[in-house]
Structure 1
Amino acid sequence: MVGAGALIGLAVEFHALGWSSIPGNSCGGRYRPCPEGTTPTLILAFVFTFAGFTGLTVALAAFRRIRPGKALPGALAAAGVLIALWPGWQAHLWLRGPVLDPAWQASPDRPASVRGVGVWALGDGAGTVVRARTDALIAYDSATGDRGWVLRAPARESVCAMSERPVDGIGLVAFARDEEPCDTVWGVEVSSGRTVWERDFAGRTLLYGGGGVLSADGGVAVALGERSVHGYGLTDGAVRWTAKPTAARAEGGDDAECEPVTASSAGGTTRVVVTCGRYTDFHSAWLLTLDDATGKEPSRRELPVESWVNAAAVLSAEPFTLLVQEKDERGLAAVLAYAEPDDPERRPVTIPLTADEEDLALTGLHPVFTARPVFRAQVADGNLIVAAARPGSDDAERVAAYSLDDGRRRWHADLGTPVVALAPAGPGRVAVLGESQRLWTLTTGEGTRVGEEDGTTVRDIAFKIDDGPQLVRAGDGWVIVNADGDTYAPALAVRP
């Protein structure tokens, strides 16, 4: 009787666990796969149902021949049910493998016309995530999803640029009117959302987003303006310096004016990519090094381009790694790794965006998050780790690592599903979220899969994330931030 009751208990438990694990009461296929373990759990549920009821019928008939009555056999069967629950749960966990379940999701953006443009992760373990949208910055508690502070943009102005991260508790955000230059910068105290200073400057009109327009380091806020670079006090906004880069023309002509394209600050210096010339008269492009304290230019080196730069983005400040796409279709389209940015004699390592083996899924044109673009790439352990697509494929279904020392591919991992997001997952680790609702953790040095070979199942996020979301490690879970906060949740969290 106890054994028959245990089989009945397992049947009920496996039915409940199996059917409740199916998100939205339907799953299957490439883009909405069933969670790991669902099929064997349901098969075992029907096996236990048949065996349990058969065993219960036989055991009850045999019991009554020995000792009539209903109370005792019922109690024994109930005891069997209770005994089976804990082993059944452990068996289900083994069949299911590791799982991340939804913890919270933010309410949709209102008004629906706004769009997410950037993200900051604050504090140890990203206890707070700040999502910038065109009309405001909104802080979310990573544990609960509760809104913290909200900082509204000025009337008729939109967020056009953000610093890569807050420094010393201050984040930088810039605003622009419709089709006007990005020319107002605020220093924001990220713990409270309070604006601590504001500066207007001669900004420039942004064509491909505001990545690299603002940066901070060493107590100085750096802002790229129209043919100029401005340095402000990080905590008070006081004017520190202004640099106007130029490039000398040949044959003693007037100096060619230069337009800053992108910048990154670290280690007491700011490195700025500039293009020089007017309109169709391309002259040159340079990588400048500016001293954060004074704005002086101790060194520069020419970029290996011969036409206008369509896109440039800093993938890493240290070691300095730069994505460049030239206007000339036969020109440079690559990631440049500078071991010694200030040494003009040492050429950068070039990693082409397209090669015989695969195409790197990197582009600086029209980013999803316009104020602080997110790239499916990380620089770690001397490698560029990036999503990639096989030749002839439109989907980036693999992750590859290229050495910053010589540009050669060191490893790659085929995932069998398009890469949705890629983010750091702690020292020596990188996390990859696939379209199949799986999250893999790979070592940055060798590409070895950590944990389950098939990754961790992330349940009930199908049709809840847009193209190119940002993945943020938050405690023992993750926060996923969408740019489209009307069709999808602006932000949602998953955890074990």
Structure 2
Amino acid sequence: MARTRNTVRPSGAIPPWPVAAPVAALIALPGGAAAGALLTGGVLELLDIGDGGGGAYLIGGALGLWITWWPFVRAVRTHCLWAWTGALVAAALVAPTVVLASGESVRAVWSAPHDTQTGVSAVGSWYDDDGVVVRVRADGATAFRVDDGGVAWRWSPPGRETICTLSRRTSEGIGVLGHTTDGGSCSVATALDLGTGREVWRSAMAPADHILEEQVPDLIAVTGETVVLPEARGWRAVRLSDGKDRWRAASEKGCTPLLSDSDGNTMVTVDACGERAAPAVATYAGHDGRRLSRGHVPAVGTPQFLTVLAADPLTLWVHEHDLRGTRAVLRYDERGDVRGTLQTDGLTGEIRILPGLPKSYLKVLEARPVRSAAVVGDTLVAAEVRPGDRQWVSSGNKPGYQSTRGRVSGFSLTSGARLWSIDTDDEIEGVIRHEDEVWAISGDKLTAVSPRTGLRTHEVATRETDTRFPADLWILGSGGYALVHADGGSAAPVTVLR
């Protein structure tokens, strides 16, 4: 008679399941995925890399293991090799996914010492590919070496003069700024070698009789080897390298210079033509002064805001104080006629060209204002503000806080249609064009998008670095980013991130 062996299972032992080996591998997958998330999140937190989301994966992985440990152990007891294989495969798939999802991040390599002079803010900045970031205050300019943050040079205007305008662009390692005394209109232009801080040349320019109500206009335009400066009856182009005259462009009768800008090889000038007359706009070839187009700005007198967003094709932002006035981005044709109009004030929201609070603009970096819009080809990429983006949240006895959100949108300058829109976790504080991408500053993120499709090409966490406006953003040729703050007391004046 055969004997039957009775197996006594220890109390609390986990019995196997009557399942096939592949099924045991499938049962072990969730446990392996949770373990992979736990371990990878822990490594990210330990090494302090990624966008700071490693802690969430660490907690999520621990919670997942707590939920899946029972079926995982039963699967191991059933078919040990198959179960462990399934778990390892799941962990191997989850780990790189967590690393990729954690995103890019940068940290401060160096920060310039805080300003000690209270009430003196930066009015603009420049970046030179040779390796310096220049922060310009009203009382002078300081160049910081990108590599180590050391001061490369300092420059101050003569006597008690103050800096009142900067060229928006630099060329051949030279930037041009304007300065004046007693807070009056800019009357002197000085070209600086950005590598050494040496004055290349100095030239008189006519003070502007008309100023925009809430915006310091771009008075000095630089493109290639040409600089355009205002004079009494029009515009004077000088050679960038030595300040010698190249060509002149007379203003229309009854008009005086208001602002200028450049893009590529094209110069744009805008003249004020009286309190009730439309400003005149013209474009010129930078190298020889040949007039390319002439037109007018659809406004009555000098508008509240007027900005050149692109020179070729000519694109202007006009915002009149009058409620029924022009508030739009205008695209001109090659003759100087308006061929596209994109309204910036709409029923569903507002297209922002300058950063600031809802329905108001921030007067910062006044000599070279930060913008929250850029033009690439036929597309305007700009911050779009909608009702409810900024809300006060209060719950019971807990302290209240302000909730903010934002978005960057792309618009066709031909049809005016919205092409795409992406949401951000915070308000948009600045938008710049860099090569074929557009970068946006938003909270603790730097986001690059394709202007054609709106797809995010980069999303970089700045990790504990203050990016709140007002700040200039520069994409460094050597890799990394430079932030230049207007208020150098509450934040570092210049910070390089890598």
When normalised by structure 1's length, the TM-score is: 0.74
Match of 2:56 among 25, 28, 39: 39
Q: Give the C-alpha shift of residue 215 in structure 1.
A: 0.9
Which residue of 2 is the match for residue 361 of structure 1?
Answer: 352
Alpha-carbon offset, residue 264 of structure 1 = 1.9
Tell me the equivalent position of 1:51.
none
Residue 249 of structure 2 is aligned to residue 260 of structure 1 = no
Q: Which residue of 2 aligns with 1:107?
A: 113
Residue in 2 aligned with 1:158?
162
8 A contact 1:403–1:410 mirrored in 2: yes
Q: Is the alpha carbon distance of 1:244 and 1:236 closer, same or farther for their aligned partners in structure 2, counting shifts above 3 Å?
A: same
Change (3 A) 1:13 1:170: closer
Secondary structure at the residue paired with 1:203? coil
* Number of residue pairs the alignment of both structures matches: 420
User: 2:89 maps to what in 1?
Assistant: none
Question: Aligned partners of 1:218, 1:227: CA distance in 2, in Å?
Answer: 24
- Give the 3 Å change call, closer, same or farther, for CA 299–458 of structure 1 in structure 2: closer
In the alignment, the residues of structure 2 paired with residue 89 and residue 139 of structure 1 have an alpha-carbon distance, to the nearest angstrom, of 43
Q: 1:14 to 1:382 in 2, by over 3 A?
A: closer
Q: Which moved further from structure 2: 214-223 or 94-103?
A: 94-103
Q: 1:228: Cα distance to partner?
A: 3.2
2:136 matched to 1:132?
yes
2:371 aligned residue: 375
Contact 1:470/1:481, CA 8 A, preserved across alignment:
yes
Distance 2:240 2:156 in 1: 21
Percent identity reads 27
Q: 1:334 to 1:148 in 2, by over 3 A?
A: same
> Residues 30-179 of structure 1 correspond to what in structure 2 (within 5 A)?
35-41=52-58, 93=99, 96-123=102-129, 127-179=131-183
Which residue matches 2:304? 310
Counterparts of 1:141 and 1:271, CA distance in 2: 32
- Give yes or no for the alignment of 1:399 onto 2:401: no
**Cα deviations across residues 384-411 of structure 1 (Å, max 9, x unaligned)?**
0001112454567111111122222111
User: 2:45, 2:52 within 8 Å by CA — same for their partners in 1?
Assistant: no
The Cα shift of 1:267 comes to 5.7
Distance 1:423 1:283, change over 3 A: closer
Larger Rg: 2
Distance change (3 Å), C-alpha of 1:318 and 1:143: farther
Distance 1:244 1:161 in 2: 22
1:430 aligns with 2:438: yes
Distance 2:144 2:217 in 1: 23
Aligned to 2:11: none
Structure 1 SS opposite 2:57: helix
* TM-score, normalisation: structure 2: 0.74
Tell me whether 1:484 sits opposite 2:487 in the alignment: yes
From 295, 301, 304, give the equivalent of 2:295.
Answer: 301
Q: Distance in 2 between the 1:237 and 1:147 partners? A: 27
Corresponding position of 1:415: 424
What's the RMSD between the two structures over aligned residues? 3.6
User: How far apart in 2 are the matches of 1:292 and 1:432?
Assistant: 30
- Single out whichever of 294-303 and 259-268 deviates more from structure 2: 294-303
SS in 2 for 1:38: helix
- Give the whole-Å Cα distance in 2 for the aligned partners of 1:21 and 1:268: 46
Aligned to 1:237: 243
- 1:238 Cα deviation from its structure 2 partner: 2.3
Q: List runs of 5+ in structure 1 lacking aligned partners.
A: 1-9, 24-33, 49-86, 248-256
Query: How far off is 1:492 after superposition?
Result: 1.0
| 1:439-472 deviation digits (Å, cap 9, x = unpaired) | 3332111111236xxx4322112xx344231111
Mark the CA change 1:243 to 1:396 in structure 2 (over 3 Å): closer, same or farther.
farther
5 Å-filtered alignment, 1:436-475, equals: 437-450=444-457, 455-461=459-465, 464-474=466-476, 475=478
Equivalents in 1 of 2:388, 2:167: separation in Å?
Answer: 36
- Tell me if the contact between 1:160 and 1:209 (Cα under 8 Å) persists in the aligned partners: no
Q: Is the contact between residue 40 and residue 95 of structure 1 (CA under 8 Å) also seen in structure 2?
A: no
In the alignment, the residues of structure 2 paired with residue 438 and residue 201 of structure 1 have an alpha-carbon distance, to the nearest angstrom, of 41
Q: Quick one: distance in 1 between partners of 2:493 and 2:240?
A: 29
Q: Once the 2 structures are TM-superposed, how far is the Cα of residue 242 of structure 1 from its aligned partner?
A: 4.7
Following superposition, the deviation at residue 348 of structure 1 comes to 2.8
Query: 3-state SS of the aligned residue for 2:279?
Result: strand
Equivalent in the alignment of 1:79? none
Match of 1:335 in 2: 329
Change beyond 3 A, Cα 1:45–1:176: farther
Structure 2's unaligned 5+ residue stretches are: 1-36, 66-92, 356-360, 391-403
Equivalent residues in 2 for 1:185-204 (5 A)? 185-204=189-208
SS at match of 1:246: coil
After TM superposition, give the deviation of residue 37 of structure 1 in Å.
1.9
- Distance, in Å, in 1 between the alignment partners of 2:171 and 2:103 is 39
Which structure ranks higher in relative contact order (CA pairs < 8 Å, sequence separation ≥ 6)? Answer: 1
